[in-house]
Amino acid sequence: METINFGIIGCGAVSEKHGQATRQVEGVRLVAAADVVEERARAFAAKYCEGPPRIYTDYRRMLEDPDVDAVIIATPSGLHARMGLDALDAGKHVLIEKPLALTSEDAGRLIEKATHVKKCLGTVHPNRYYPTSQMIYRAIREGRLGKLSHGVATVRWSRPQSYYEEAPWRKTKEMDGGVLFNQAWHALDMLFWYIGSPAVEVQGMTARRLHDVETEDVAFLTVRFQNGALGLLEATTNVYPRNLEHTISVFAETGTIVQGGTRPDTLKVWRVRDEAEQVVIAEWGETRSIQHPDAWAHGKVLMDFQQQIETTNVACEIVNDARNLIAVVEKVTGIQPGSPM
């Protein structure tokens, strides 16, 4: 197994998790960093890159570097598609932060390009790797919950206006996409992943209520899945004065599971026929749960991407799921682009 040399594009908030993640995974290392703000690339490289510093303010120069095998894209969401296509064209494997792209057309282009150039395309969905997420997924797939009724995802978060001002791309439709693409992305993905069936009907409503931004800050979405189950999402950044919950609930014939609350990787309810709820909650409840370090799940994402490269799996399941999810969000944001303040 040869060591995979990574470069990173975008050295802002989430790049820290990727820096820490590479330290957790054997056989990968960071060798280059790009950011339009040179100081950020320099500081990131000093902390996380191995070998002589390779620092770029133009990511395209980094893509010309033959020692870089793969890139992580951690820039504002509206840049993901363009940068991903450029990186694939340059013969690099590409791991893109969420969301994969802001239009399903762009997501499709990325998948086509990866297939064409035979380089691997991945995207970062860390919540799928939480042990509790794996437990829920397995319980559903093994039929322990019986027939599914419905799932509900709730993202009740607080983001002051200063959050949007700190990184002004977050205020824009073109670069951020709104609460569904940004804050609700993981909850939406988990809801769809758990139910495990394509959407056949999607409806929704969005509004911009409490922030000076171009996009919605509250969204409702309902979905009918092909297997007959229903799904519901409520997502907002309008909760006063702090985060309330990030919760996914699944209701089925012989099981009720509630994941999350103040910590999305925990379990609140595990009522599954013939299974001992107290035992599960004692281990995974909000108070007793083992705390994973912040970047632990990003490490799992990276490990999976490493395996994807080793097996030349150009477009993994998550990438295809992400494209379908973008199409779902498009349906909702297309219906109602947000009301005036």
Sites of contact with ligand NAD (CB under 6 A): 9-14, 34-37, 40, 59, 74-77, 79, 97-98, 124, 126, 167, 182
Could you tell me which of 10, 4, 124 has the C-alpha nearest to residue 76? 10
Could you tell me which of 35, 23, 3, 1 has the C-alpha nearest to residue 298? 23
Q: Which residue is nearest to ligand NAD (CB)?
A: 12
Helices then strands, counting H and E runs in the chain, come out as: 11, 13
C-alpha distances in Å from residue 63, one per residue of 41, 116, 219: 15, 18, 38
Q: Cβ distance 234 to 97 under 8 Å?
A: no
Indicate the residue among 101 and 145 with the shorter CB distance to ligand NAD. Answer: 101
Could you tell me which of 70, 36, 77, 261 has the C-alpha nearest to residue 185? 77
Could you tell me which of 118, 102, 149 has the C-alpha nearest to residue 323? 102
Helix, strand or coil for residue 297? helix
Indicate the residue among 79 and 280 with the shorter CB distance to ligand NAD. Answer: 79
Q: How far is the CB of 297 from ligand NAD (least distance, A)?
A: 8
Q: How far is the CB of 176 from ligand NAD (least distance, A)?
A: 8
Backbone angles phi, psi at 230, to 5 degrees: -110, 155
Indicate the residue among 129 and 284 with the shorter CB distance to ligand NAD. Answer: 129
- CA pair distance 2, 53, nearest whole angstrom: 21
Q: Cβ distance 279 to 165 under 8 Å?
A: no
Q: Cβ distance 146 to 255 under 8 Å?
A: yes
Q: How far is the CB of 54 from ligand NAD (least distance, A)?
A: 14
Q: How far is the CB of 236 from ligand NAD (least distance, A)?
A: 17
Q: How far is the CB of 37 from ligand NAD (least distance, A)?
A: 4
Q: How far is the CB of 335 from ligand NAD (least distance, A)?
A: 23
Could you tell me which of 163, 161, 158, 164 has the C-alpha nearest to residue 240? 158
Indicate the residue among 102 and 280 with the shorter CB distance to ligand NAD. Answer: 102
Q: How far is the CB of 36 from ligand NAD (least distance, A)?
A: 4
Indicate the residue among 56 and 270 with the shorter CB distance to ligand NAD. Answer: 56
Six-digit token pair at 52?
């002589």
Q: How far is the CB of 98 from ligand NAD (least distance, A)?
A: 5
- CA pair distance 145, 131, nearest whole angstrom: 18
Strand 93-96 and strand 28-34: the pairing is: unpaired
